[in-house]
Amino acid sequence: MPALPPPPLPERGAAWALFADIDGTLVDFAARPDDVVLPPPLLNMLGRLRDALRGALAVLSGRDLDAIDRMLAPLELPVGAVHGLHWRDARGRRHMQAPPPDIAAAVERACAVLAAALPGVSLESKSGIAFALHYRNAPQHAVAVRERAARLAARFAPHYLLQPGDCVAELKPAGGDKGSALRALYGDAPFHGRLPIAVGDDYTDEAAFAAARELGGFGIVVGTRRPTAATYALPAPRDVAAWLERSIERLVGASGGST
């Protein structure tokens, strides 16, 4: 499989719209999701990027919306949260695709029992509708988590499906993904009509890559995971930050590197 090239840089004033994941993309993973922190220089850079893109910057993440807001504070960006099931548009309006409450409660109880039976596995509830079983601190349980989570997904189908990820198996409601969130956000200002670019590292970002491509843009995969629908690649979050810094310089007309 041929290597993917690094992404291009924009021309001054280019009408780009950027949709970025957080974990594994803007910042490295941590032992626990709650340990991940966006340092002040990164938050400052994201604020400058938003301004350079005239507001066309959004976050697409598996985390819930309130957790994303805490991480990004004092920034408040358009967001596609819980893998696209909960999103906030540029006007501040919130939208959610949610399963029946009794089904969601039953899935959460079943996931809690599963996590309790496997020491080191933790359960993360996302907006009370999606439930992630993290095994980064207990890799010996990887197969057991994936197999048992798959059985739960089959048990609660068609309301729920299994979303695998990096050291996580997630039970998420059917019907939405990062691609659907990107399309929803792209349908309105300030994103509409711009070149959509999706940046992410995980399997869940593939839907966003495909959506960006369908709308005339492209995807950037972070890391070595292949195959991918992305057109370009960057090795790690630090390389994403460097590319974004150079993109800001180009967008606002300061000195920067060549494409």
Q: Nearest-CA neighbor of 148 among 118, 122, 178?
A: 118
Residue the block writes with tokens 């780009």: 16
**Could you tell me which residues come within 8 angstroms of residue 182 by beta carbon, excluding any fewer than 6 positions away?**
19, 58, 60, 80, 84, 196, 198, 208, 211, 212, 215
Phi then psi dihedrals of residue 79, to 5 deg = -140, 140
Q: Which helix (H) or strand (E) holds 133?
A: strand 130-134
**Buried residues in 38-54 as b, exposed as e (16+ CB within 10 A):** beeebbebbebbbebbe
Rounded to the nearest angstrom, the gap between the alpha carbon of residue 73 and the centroid of all alpha carbons in its chain is: 17
Count CB neighbours of 33 within 10 A. Answer: 18
Q: Respond yes or no: is residue 21 known to be catalytic.
A: yes
Q: Please state, in angstroms and rounded to a whole number, the distance separating the CA atoms of residues 203 and 205.
A: 5
List the catalytic residue out of 21, 201, 202, 205: 21
Tell which phi-psi region holds residue 82, choosing left (phi > 0), alpha (psi between -120 and 50) or beta. left
Active-site annotation, residues: 21
